[in-house]
Each structure stands twice: as C-alpha cells, then as structure tokens.
Structure 1
Amino acid sequence: PWYAQAWHLATGADHELFQETLRAYRYQVLFTPDAILWGVISALLLAWLAELLVLMFGLIFGAGRTRRAQQRHWR
C-alpha cells in the first residue's frame, strides 16, 4: 500500500540514493500533448458535471422562483 511506501521512504530509505535523487530533482514539469489534452478534457467534464448538479438542485428546490410569479404566469 501507499502508506507503507511512504513510511519506508521516511524512515528506512537509502540515504545516499535519496540525496542523489534530490540533487537531480527539477521543479520544472514537462507536459506532453496527451497530458494537456487529458487535463483539459477532465476539467471540462468536471465543470459540466458541477453545473449539472447545481441546476438539478435548483430545479428540485425551486431556486429563483416565487409563487406569486408562477400564479401570474398561469392567469
């Protein structure tokens, strides 16, 4: 499991190898076109689902409507 790996890294990892990894680490993240496409598609899908959820709650609980406005509409 992930927590066992994290615990091993924190307590029992090879110190020399860990230091070598830290020296070679870069803060720059290189994205491939596939990774960018997945990110954009995931963000759009998540935004669409969030808006759908908000609209469903609005329809269920009648957000933005008043009874007086509904009565005038049917007259």
Structure 2
Amino acid sequence: MPPDYPYGDKVSEPISAYAKRIGIKHETVRTQCDKGILPIIQRKKGTKREVNLYALYLRAKYKAEQFIRDFES
C-alpha cells in the first residue's frame, strides 16, 4: 500500500461499518452504492457488498492532484 494510504491494510469494509464510521445512515450508504456513487466490491452476485476503500483513496488522490494542477494554471 502507498505510504499515505489512510486505512492501514484494509481494502474494503462492510457497508454498515463504513456508515457507522463516517456517521451516516446505513440506508444512505446503500443507496450511494446502488447509484454508483460509492465504489463497491462484491465477490459474487447475491453476496454482501463492501465499500471499496482503496478505490475511494485513489479517487480522492486523483481529485486532489487535479485540483492542484488547475490551481497552479
């Protein structure tokens, strides 16, 4: 993992744990997953979904780098 990765060795976490950690309702996170707002990992169709923390990290890092480039232009 990259040295600035904030989630330790976790690549994903259950939807309920993610919702509790960030302080929003489980249903809200589930809806965001359904709409594709939050990236998920699902091993097989019909199994439990997990929030893909590594994808969130990469998205945030990309957006931050893009912001800096735009700001410097």
TM-score normalised by L of structure 1: 0.32
By percentage of residues, which structure has more helix? 1
**Structure with more relative contact order (C-alpha pairs < 8 Å, separation 6 or more):** 2
TM-score normalised by L of structure 2: 0.33
Larger Rg: 1
